Structure 1
Amino acid sequence: MTEIPLYTKLSTLPPAFKAEVNDFVDFLLSKKKKAVKANKPTFGYAKGQFKMAPGFDAPLDDFKEYMP
């Protein structure tokens, strides 16, 4: 929807409804700001949530023929 039909509909509303529309637009803008902040990753956020097995980085016997 473009701005012109939206403005046309808005101009036909009584003042009380225009105030409600204004409040709703403010709500949507604040919701947009929160969504942008929520998507920003934080370094170390998952610290302590994963455990590596004791031999995780040990060489695998399956790949010995490919190793020099």
Structure 2
Amino acid sequence: MTAISIDQASAQLPSLLSNLAPGEEILLTDGGKPVAKVTPVENSEPQPKRRLGSAKGILTIVSEDDEHLNDFAEYM
């Protein structure tokens, strides 16, 4: 976690926010005392709900297809 004073943060806010990685936190301090924590938003856009059958015709599941495993025999 990075600690930075409020004065420094206000001068560098655009840069701090653009460089903020997922899971990273910035601790804002005032007079050396922690006052706030800045964290990135995990997922800002809602994901559309998946509809049943939306992969129909795109995905094929073959129930008895072990032949492709022969290519990995030397690794087993």
TM-score under structure 2 length normalisation: 0.23
Q: Which one has the bigger helix percentage?
A: 1
Q: Which has the larger radius of gyration?
A: 1
Task: With a CA cutoff of 8 Å and minimum separation of 6, indicate the structure with the bigger relative contact order.
Answer: 2
Q: Which one has the bigger strand percentage?
A: 2
